[in-house]
Copies of this chain bind each other. A is one copy, B any other.
Amino acid sequence: MKKEDQVLMGFRDLYNKIVWLNKNKMEDSLKGYTSSEVHCIEYIEKNADSNVTKLAESFYMTRGAISKLTQKLIKKGLIESYQKSDNKKEIYFRLTAQGKVIDKIHEDLHKEFQERDKAVFEQVTEEQFDSMLSFVEKYSRHLDAVIKKQGLDMKSE
């Protein structure tokens, strides 16, 4: 097998493992909240004026799904929506006090994960970090270009 395949498959397996493990741990610690809900809360806290469309693009999900998710979070009292005086279409979100509590717990959990994996990262040299970061950025930019090109292609079909 080619090394690029090994890398991609290795990443896939590693990523799935991390997601599975952290999801289990999180839904165990934050009972009553799914990992989707918590990630949504995290994003809203970190990004001012986030709305359905931005959340959907960031999570590679449909607007429909995000719309339902945010409505649920509003019903649960974790986020609230607001609008700006010069735009009656876009609807933005921010955390409520209760939402901030959840975000804080999630943040602590995140630190716990870091602690759990510290041994692995301690072995990584600065050069390795930079090398991986540069790879990720290059690849990501490349795919953005592909997506952009494809977007144009789709219109012409």
Given contacts A3-B129, A128-B135, contact A15 B11 (CB under 8 A): yes
Whether the Cβ atoms of A136 and B10 lie closer than 8 Å is yes
Q: Which residues of B contact A59 (CB under 8 A)?
A: 16
- Contact pattern, A 86-116, Cβ under 8 Å of B = 1, otherwise 0: 0000000000000000000000000000101
Given that A4-B121, A135-B132 are known contacts, is A60 also in contact with B140, CB under 8 Å in the complex? no
- A residues 1-24 touching B (CB-CB < 8 Å): 2-8, 10-21, 24
Question: For the complex, what is the distance from the CA of A6 to the CA of B11, rounded to whole Å?
Answer: 15
A72 at the interface (CB under 8 A from B): no
Complex CA gap A26/B57 in Å reads 20
Q: How large is the interface on A (under 10, 10 to 19, 20 to 34, 35 or more residues)?
A: 35 or more
Q: State A128–B136 Cα separation when bound (angstroms).
A: 12
In the complex, what residues of B have CB within 8 A of residue A114's CB?
2, 4-5
Contact A116:B60 (CB < 8 A) given known A3-B129, A10-B137: no
Known contacts A120-B142, A131-B131; is-contact A60 B7 (Cβ 8 Å): no
Chain A residues with CB under 8 Å of chain B are 2-8, 10-21, 24, 59-60, 114, 116-117, 119-121, 123-124, 128-129, 131-133, 135-140, 142-144, 146-147, 150
